[in-house]
Chain A
Amino acid sequence: MSVIFFLIGCSVFIALIFLAAFFWANRTGQHDDTYTPSVRILFDDEGDEEK
């Protein structure tokens, strides 16, 4: 059963990686604008084809 120490260690380690990822996202401004990307992605290349 001592494997549980290893498993808990793993789970906390992975959770820490996610926490670090969140910090990185927050710091690089990925939560600054939560609206515009949702519009931007809907533009197809219709207008750009005419170039």
Chain B
Amino acid sequence: MKETIHATTCYHCGDAVAGVHYETDGHVFCCLGCQSVYRILAGSRMHAYYRFNTHPGKKKSRASSRYEYLDEEALADKLVDFRNGDITIVTFYVPAIHCSSCIWLLERLYRLNDAVVHSQTDFLKKQITITFKHNELTLREAVELLATIGYEPKITLQDVVKEGRKFSQKGLIAKIAVAGFCFGNSMMLSFPEYFGMGSFESSYSRFFGWMNLAFALPVVLYCGRDHFRSAWQSLRRWELNLDVPLALGIMVLFFRTGWEVALAGGPGFADTLCGLVFFLLVGRWIQQRTFHHISFERDYRSYFPVAVTRLDETGTKAIPLADIQVGDCLLIRNGEIIPADAMLMKGQAAIDFSFVTGESEPVRKVLGEIIYAGGRQTGGALEVEVVKAVSQSYLTRLWNNESIKPAVKNFRSFSDRVSRYFTPALVGVAAAAFLFWWVGGDLTRAWGAFTAVLIIACPCALALSSPFTLSAAMSLFDKNRFYVKNTAAIEQMARIDSLVFDKTGTISSPSAARMRWEGNLLPEELANVVAVCKNSYHPLSRELVKWAGDIPSDGYAITNYREIPGEGLEAWVDGRRIRVGNARFTGASGKERGTRVYLSLNDVVRGSFAVEQPWRGHLGNVLGKLADGRQLHLISGDNDRDEAQLRALFPKRSVFRFHQLPDEKMEYIRVLQAEGHRVAMFGDGLNDAGALRQADLGIAVSDDINNFSPGCDAILDGRSFAKLPLFFRFARHAVKVIHMSFGISLTYNIIGLGFAVTGTLSPLFAAVLMPLSTVTIISFTTVATHLYAKRDQLTRTS
């Protein structure tokens, strides 16, 4: 039994082994690449790699890139983290890291090459940090070492590794640590007061008070700094965000504590103050925490190669992208990207523009024609002459176009909107209480009431409800392969009323198999059929040729070729009469029309090709559900050949637009917004980049999230496309949870205010109420979010 398993799947990557297979040590491999990785590992006695996981390897998807450019000092310096006379430390992003075997192997690189001193992986970030002796191993050789064992690092100019480091929460974590330390200690010192101290212990009471004040000082000056800064900025813009009442509360707490300890001999509110700041900082940390390591701000640079090969009299030289000048002659090899608008000088150009337009069918170019930047050459090497600098190329201008970058998206989160009413109301109540007691002649009590109101009504629980709810939602989305940039995007999502879809690559899947053969056919006969179909430009013939793939179909003599529009084609090859077309034409008895291509050889029907729709799974169903309360739009750069099919899938009221240029797409969204709609845009390619940025919520649909995606607010893994309606529904529910928790915290505030306005606020009361409301809110949001998630079927991950 075991033998058959071994005979069908590759020992290295687990793919099915078809046709030719490669064998080493009794293990079967699907390709030379997998076999060579095994040989390297076996040669270094590292079989254990295959013991931790079955089929731990990943097939090399493409031919390895070339790394000559890493020999250029200037470029290499940009990549390395540290270098001295002896060693170099460098960190790479390796998308292939996916299991424990990867960690095991990558941390034992020193066994493959003695020059590697140390290597360490960060599994979640998919990074590896390598320390090596650069006198024995160059940077290029280190990268090639990784590539030979199947862990090719992804090196781009806009280095993901370095970008990730820019954003650090270390400062915030330090603040939380200080606040937590002060909170714990001041609580310890406050307890004796709460439990009641005898009169003989009053000397301690003063000591405790001063200690508490000392603990409150760093909390206000260091930990609470961000809140004060944010509140001040907000006031200067004549706005009232939620940090204004919070900063006010912190300040009042501190001054009243200081006054009580220094002058009145009271215990003060130091523990409440420290606790408040501590919880607020935790909320902030929760909100900023990222569960993933995907960059949402990638631009064209991360897609372009780091260096290109320039041809001159002396030969070839790798130069950085930025050094390309107009008139340079570049060598573009198979699979490489054309970095700037250039004229084709030599070679067979078949350019894949899927990155720019979403269309994956390669475009043929003739000598002397201009090739726009962003296309990927498929086929032999090309020589091109640059006609525009990188920054002036059509594609780059699309990115840099200032009009595509709208000002900050005008979005007010719920808590900011609430704060606009909450803060004036709060100050109003405090002032009223002050006036009431002042007119009554009790100035001390008036101050007491005024400060008590500001302390009690400090919207701590309110400030925590959004972060806790939304970050829980974010992590749930994450588990379902929907990666949201920040918590504000989820709130935005709940308010969307118009959905705009791009067609190619977004609602259609580039990887979907478009044809399925049903029947029987010998390989030789199939080759005949392909040879015939190659002569036709009918979309279905081309689809069939694409499906057949690498079948050798050249060199057949085709005679009596006939193409009958609307029916099919007919030809003689190798003494066979081949007919490909609809049922009537081939004499088959099928009833379905259009969705099948029948085939007959010498008037015998041999079967049919079922034409699969290229749309993502359950598309009609998904669109139907999304249309509930939202208007759907389809906006495509492609022609309208699929319109009839799409009409059947989209709800009746949907709007269709074809032949749209990238800036027309953006303009379309702008018009919708001007009409007062909140628009979500779904796109994938660079042609959607402007629209994604313009939309209130830009969602990039991608089948490989580690690959390029345009700047956006969220990235949706193509496999989770069917869950979209659930995501939208859950976003609404998350906002509902925030509203409910706002109600709860408001109730607490009103209860507290009842005591505060009388001017008799005991420190104990504040010390109990504040944490109590906070804990209530945190547990309520956590429980409610998970209940909704369960109801919305988001907890079951597949």
* Residues in chain A within 8 A of chain B (CB atoms): 4-5, 8, 11-12, 15-16, 19, 22-23, 26-27, 31-33, 35-36, 39-40, 42-43, 46-48, 50-51
Query: Size of chain B's interface in residues, with CB distance under 8 A?
Result: 32
Contact string, B100-120, partner A, CB cutoff 8 A, digits 1/0? 100110011001000000001
B177→A22 contact, CB < 8 A:
yes
B46→A36 contact, CB < 8 A:
no
The chain A residue sitting closest to B189, CB to CB, is A8
Contacts of B100 in A (CB 8 A): 39, 42-43
Considering the chains assembled together, what is the distance between the CA atoms of A49 and B120 in angstroms? 20
A26-B170, A31-B173, A47-B51 known; A36+B121 contact, CB < 8 A: yes
Central interface residue in A15, A35, A36, A46, by most chain B CB within 10 Å: A36
B184→A15 contact, CB < 8 A:
yes
A47→B123 contact, CB < 8 A:
no
- By Cβ-Cβ distance, the 7 closest A-B pairs, closest first, are A47-B48, A36-B123, A50-B45, A33-B122, A19-B181, A39-B100, A35-B124
Contacts of A43 in B (CB 8 A): 52, 100, 103-104
The chain B residue sitting closest to A39, CB to CB, is B100
Complex partner residue of B174 from A5, A15, A23, A42, CB under 8 angstroms: A23
The chain A residue sitting closest to B102, CB to CB, is A39
B103→A50 contact, CB < 8 A:
no
B125 to chain A, nearest CB (A): 7
B177→A40 contact, CB < 8 A:
no
B47→A36 contact, CB < 8 A:
no
Contacts of B207 in A (CB 8 A): 5
B177→A50 contact, CB < 8 A:
no
Q: Is B319 an interface residue (CB 8 A)?
A: no
A4 to chain B, nearest CB (A): 7
B296 to chain A, nearest CB (A): 21
The chain A residue sitting closest to B45, CB to CB, is A50
The chain B residue sitting closest to A40, CB to CB, is B103
Q: Is B178 an interface residue (CB 8 A)?
A: yes
Considering the chains assembled together, what is the distance between the CA atoms of A22 and B174 in angstroms? 8
Contacts of A46 in B (CB 8 A): 48, 51
B441 to chain A, nearest CB (A): 42
Considering the chains assembled together, what is the distance between the CA atoms of A36 and B125 in angstroms? 10
A26→B122 contact, CB < 8 A:
no
* Residues in chain B within 8 A of chain A (CB atoms): 45-49, 51-52, 100, 103-104, 107-108, 111, 120-125, 170, 173-174, 177-178, 181, 184-185, 188-189, 204, 207, 211
Considering the chains assembled together, what is the distance between the CA atoms of A31 and B204 in angstroms? 40
6 new A-B pairs (CB below 8 Å) besides A26-B174, A36-B124, A40-B107? Answer: A19-B178, A33-B125, A36-B103, A40-B103, A47-B46, A50-B48
Contacts of A15 in B (CB 8 A): 181, 184-185
A19 to chain B, nearest CB (A): 5
Contacts of B173 in A (CB 8 A): 26, 31
The chain B residue sitting closest to A42, CB to CB, is B100
A37 to chain B, nearest CB (A): 9
Contacts of B122 in A (CB 8 A): 32-33, 36
Considering the chains assembled together, what is the distance between the CA atoms of A48 and B46 in angstroms? 8
A42 to chain B, nearest CB (A): 7
B123→A50 contact, CB < 8 A:
no
Contacts of A35 in B (CB 8 A): 123-124
A51 to chain B, nearest CB (A): 6
Considering the chains assembled together, what is the distance between the CA atoms of A32 and B185 in angstroms? 28
Contacts of B189 in A (CB 8 A): 8
Considering the chains assembled together, what is the distance between the CA atoms of A26 and B49 in angstroms? 33
A2 to chain B, nearest CB (A): 9
Complex partner residue of A47 from B103, B104, B170, CB under 8 angstroms: B104
B621 to chain A, nearest CB (A): 36
B103→A39 contact, CB < 8 A:
yes
Considering the chains assembled together, what is the distance between the CA atoms of A42 and B48 in angstroms? 13
A23→B177 contact, CB < 8 A:
yes
B124→A33 contact, CB < 8 A:
yes
Considering the chains assembled together, what is the distance between the CA atoms of A8 and B123 in angstroms? 44
A31 to chain B, nearest CB (A): 7
A39 to chain B, nearest CB (A): 5
Considering the chains assembled together, what is the distance between the CA atoms of A22 and B179 in angstroms? 13
Contacts of A19 in B (CB 8 A): 177-178, 181
Contacts of B178 in A (CB 8 A): 19
B449 to chain A, nearest CB (A): 34
Considering the chains assembled together, what is the distance between the CA atoms of A15 and B48 in angstroms? 45
A44 to chain B, nearest CB (A): 9
Contacts of B184 in A (CB 8 A): 15
Considering the chains assembled together, what is the distance between the CA atoms of A40 and B121 in angstroms? 10
Contacts of B174 in A (CB 8 A): 23, 26
Considering the chains assembled together, what is the distance between the CA atoms of A51 and B121 in angstroms? 22
B173 to chain A, nearest CB (A): 6
Considering the chains assembled together, what is the distance between the CA atoms of A47 and B101 in angstroms? 11
A5-B207, A32-B122, A36-B124 known; A27+B177 contact, CB < 8 A: no
